[in-house]
Structure 1
């Protein structure tokens, strides 16, 4: 096999139009009583700037530390997550669109490790955030809890 090398730092991204106002979509990410309906199953608190949180996916038996770095209501959520040695940064932006819709864009950066590890990590991230955004869209637009995150990697 030909040796492949990264020539720039990898970025994982996913985006989705959600037909709800930006403030409502952003609130869905910051309020764990809503977020647990489309993403993780438990949070130690609300996303506010400066918060250190723990998110759990009980179906998988995993959790992650989260450090909220910036929060501009209805515009941006920036957090780091992972372990203390190798956290990555996630930016979730909310851009208003016509007819009270919002473009939600999730970008994750700061991946570390070998090229193979990084490629797996970026691939998992893109798939994971795409699933989260689809579940968010179903919930906010149609009131449907898909359970897509829990079904993304069957145990």
Structure 2
């Protein structure tokens, strides 16, 4: 069985601005991770860090198609993530996040699907709030209790 997790959101900003928000860690850190070792570049590895949770993850950028696709592999177990950017109008972008090539089974797979669906939805919500309204909601940082 091939499982694909997908979340999506309309963001009322030009596709180039939404795409850049995920390439440039200065912007992405406003709604996803705390810091990064650098911008996303095709065929390069970048480390993302979440300070509160003391977690670092390495992502390998498989493919970048300007204003259309960011594809990377990450995690343990390793899986593939596609960020798919679709221009709806000059000021609207439909952003889909797809996560697949997941090697888990049974209850571990179910937990992974639930966790990652929730987490990617949170990222999209934070991205929308930041890009459309300049609001840093700290959704990823505040999702788990302070003692975690």
| TM-score normalised to structure 1 length | 0.91
SS at the partner of 1:111?
coil
Deviations 1:26-79 (A, max 9, x none): 000000000000000011110010110111111111111100000111110000
User: What are structure 2's unaligned runs of at least 5 residues?
Assistant: none
Distance 2:138 2:115 in 1: 18
Q: 1:130 aligns with which of 113, 121, 137?
A: 121
After TM superposition, the structure 1 = structure 2 runs for residues 106-121 of structure 1, keeping only pairs within 5 Å, are 106-121=97-112
Q: Which residues of structure 1 form unaligned runs of 5+?
A: 1-7
Deviation at 1:114, TM superposition (A): 2.9
User: Is 1:90 equivalent to 2:84 in the alignment?
Assistant: no
Larger Rg: 1
Kindly indicate whether residue 139 of structure 2 is the aligned counterpart of residue 148 of structure 1: yes
Whole-angstrom CA distance in 1 between matches of 2:18 and 2:89: 15
Number of aligned residue pairs:
146
Pick the aligned partner of 1:103 from 94, 98, 108.
94
Partner of 1:65: 58
- 2:9 aligns to what SS in structure 1? strand
Contact map agreement 2:14 2:91 (CA 8 A) in 1: yes
TM-score by length of 2: 0.95
| Structure 1 segments of 4+ aligned residues over 6 angstroms from their partners | none
Q: CA deviation at 1:113?
A: 2.4
